[in-house]
């Protein structure tokens, strides 16, 4: 996500900590938690800044672009994403209206702020969750064990890390439905300090600790519901916690590349990246709202999400835009899957503390995160309980399914 970073946040940590230069034999290793070393800063990476703008840059260039508020996908390892299909895509048509209000509405009150806070306190206590660092590996291992504990022995859950060529794994929690059609709920688990990612702290409370614990709490209530009612969903439902979003959507590209290659049938993917900050909205005298992104998303899924918010949330939505490749939904849509993105507010009113040591819990509203939790839980259940899917053949515009 884009940020404007006061110079103070750059200087303060530097002045108070010794500047560590890795020894030559440490270059390129991840063992000491100070990875992302100088050696690989010279390695060229292929990045995509828009549908037509593709260039070779260094790792240092990538950081500079991000500091400048430019989003991109690092497509070096996934250049064939979106080009692997052998059959034409179908356009997914979502249900006209909400079908399970009586079942879903009573569950919403089970979403608990205390769980979100407890999870976020632990998650932000890692020095950083930078994907190349050993801290990032540790935070991912903690998250996996936390998800496992949250599922509390639910027998039908398939939970596994999705490893990468860097130390931090993505995580996939899969609840098999009667159909292979799959609904994906995503957030990214990594954080970054954009000045010295290998060195400086990055609590990443909002970006994207908030999204991580929001979908985890929705996951908890959903699992409890399935356990108590002893039901199987119609669609398969997956929760994804991506690694290396901040490296250019690396973890999510690896996953959707794999899904496209293996013919996985994803009918909806919702990403949430930053769900907790509302102060700027309130200071501007605007109503607290959920930000629904309208650019580079699937219009049908986005319309359905608006209906979910109107039905199940206590606050309205505001339409907003964030540009090309602004979070992991872009990987799903590049792979040909319909995706959407929801953020804490209008994009201009989102959190300016991100990517620094100041991305802290104290700036966040857990009441607001509960609203995102309601939307997540309701969307996941509406789409995975429905028996009625209409699929139009051969429409190659926007996202689609196999
Ligand atoms: C989840 O916990 C169970 C019980 O402790 C364990 O057997 C299993 O390996 C864990 N799964 C993962 C993915 O860590």
Q: Is residue 336 part of a domain?
A: yes
Structural domain boundaries enclosing 258: 90-393
What is the rounded end-to-end Cα distance, in angstroms, of the chain?
A: 30
Residue 283 has φ and ψ, to the nearest 5°, of: -60, -30
Please write the tens of the pLDDT for every residue from 201-245: 999 999 999 999 999 999 999 999 999 999 999 999 999 999 999
- CA dihedral (139, 142, 144, 146) in degrees, to 10, reads -130
Please write the tens of the pLDDT for every residue from 326-362: 999 999 999 999 999 999 999 999 999 999 999 999 9
The answer to whether the CB of 380 falls within 8 A of the CB of 237 is yes
144 in contact with ligand 1, CB cutoff 6 A = yes
Q: Is residue 41 part of a domain?
A: no
Question: What's the gap in Å between 154 CA and the centre of ligand 1?
Answer: 11
Please write the tens of the pLDDT for every residue from 267-310: 999 999 999 999 999 999 999 999 999 999 999 999 999 999 99
Q: Is residue 82 part of a domain?
A: no
Question: What's the gap in Å between 159 CA and the centre of ligand 1?
Answer: 8
The answer to whether the CB of 191 falls within 8 A of the CB of 1 is no
Q: Is residue 122 part of a domain?
A: yes
| CA–CA separation, 75 and 125 (whole Å) | 31
- Give me the CATH number covering residue 324: 3.40.630.10
Q: Which atom of ligand 1 is nearest to the CA of 161?
A: 13
Question: What's the gap in Å between 148 CA and the centre of ligand 1?
Answer: 6
Q: Is residue 118 part of a domain?
A: yes
Q: Is residue 400 part of a domain?
A: no
Cα diameter, the chain: 63
Specify the long-range contacts of residues 302-308, CB closer than 8 Å, at least 24 apart: 302/340, 303/94, 304/94, 304/95, 304/268, 304/379, 304/382, 304/383, 305/270, 305/340, 305/342, 305/375, 305/379, 307/97, 307/98, 308/98, 308/375, 308/378, 308/379, 308/382
Q: Is residue 62 part of a domain?
A: no
Statement: residue 18 has pLDDT above 90: no
Statement: residue 94 has pLDDT above 80: yes
| pLDDT band per the 50, 70, 90 thresholds, residue 365 | very high
159 in contact with ligand 1, CB cutoff 6 A = yes
Place of tokens 């040909």: 336
| CA–CA separation, 243 and 33 (whole Å) | 16
Q: Is residue 15 part of a domain?
A: no
Nearest CA to ligand 1 atom 6: 148
What integer pLDDT is reported at residue 390 of this predicted model? 63
Helices (H) and strands (E) in the chain, counts: 11, 13
Nearest CA to ligand 1 atom 8: 148
Which tokens go with 65?
Answer: 């672009």
Q: Which atom of ligand 1 is nearest to the CA of 151?
A: 1
Question: Angle 366-385/211-229 helices, nearest 10 degrees?
Answer: 50
Domain count, the chain: 1
What integer pLDDT is reported at residue 389 of this predicted model? 73
| pLDDT band per the 50, 70, 90 thresholds, residue 87 | low
Q: Which atom of ligand 1 is nearest to the CA of 159?
A: 13
């Amino acid at each position: 996500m884009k940020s404007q970073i006061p110079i103070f946040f750059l200087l303060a940590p530097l002045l108070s900590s010794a500047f560590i230069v890795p020894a030559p034999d440490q270059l390129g290793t991840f063992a000491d938690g100070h990875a992302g070393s100088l050696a690989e800063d010279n390695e060229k990476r292929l990045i995509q800044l828009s549908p037509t703008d593709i260039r070779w840059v260094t790792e240092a260039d990538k950081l500079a672009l991000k500091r400048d508020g430019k989003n991109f996908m690092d497509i070096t390892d996934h250049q064939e994403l979106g080009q692997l299909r052998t059959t034409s895509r179908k356009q997914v048509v979502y249900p006209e209206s909400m079908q399970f209000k009586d079942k879903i509405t009573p569950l919403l009150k089970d979403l608990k702020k205390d769980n979100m806070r407890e999870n976020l306190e632990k998650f932000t206590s890692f020095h950083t969750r930078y994907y190349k660092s050993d801290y990032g590996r540790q935070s991912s291992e903690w998250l996996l064990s936390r998800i496992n504990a949250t599922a509390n022995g639910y027998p039908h859950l398939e939970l596994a890390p999705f490893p990468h060529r860097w130390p931090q794994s993505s995580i996939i929690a899969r609840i098999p439905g009667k159909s292979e059609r799959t609904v994906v709920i995503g957030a990214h688990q990594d954080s970054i300090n954009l000045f010295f990612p290998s060195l400086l702290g990055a609590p990443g409370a909002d970006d994207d600790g908030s999204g991580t614990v929001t979908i985890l709490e929705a996951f908890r209530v959903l699992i409890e519901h399935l356990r108590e009612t002893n039901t199987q969903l119609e669609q398969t439902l997956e929760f994804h916690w991506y690694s290396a979003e901040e490296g250019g959507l690396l973890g999510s590209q690896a996953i959707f590349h794999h899904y496209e290659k293996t013919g996985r049938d994803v009918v909806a993917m919702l990403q949430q990246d930053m769900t907790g900050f509302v102060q700027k909205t309130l200071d501007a005298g605007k109503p607290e709202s959920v930000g629904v992104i309208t650019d580079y998303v699937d219009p049908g899924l986005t319309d359905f999400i608006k209906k979910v918010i109107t039905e199940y949330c206590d606050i309205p939505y505001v339409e907003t835009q964030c540009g090309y490749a602004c979070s992991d939904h872009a990987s799903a849509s590049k792979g040909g899957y319909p995706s959407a993105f929801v953020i804490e507010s209008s994009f201009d009113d989102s959190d300016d503390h991100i990517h620094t040591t100041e991305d802290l819990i104290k700036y966040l509203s857990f009441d607001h995160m509960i609203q995102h939790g309601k939307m997540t839980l309701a969307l996941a259940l509406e789409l995975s309980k429905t028996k009625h899917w209409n699929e139009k053949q051969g429409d190659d515009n926007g996202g689609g399914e196999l």
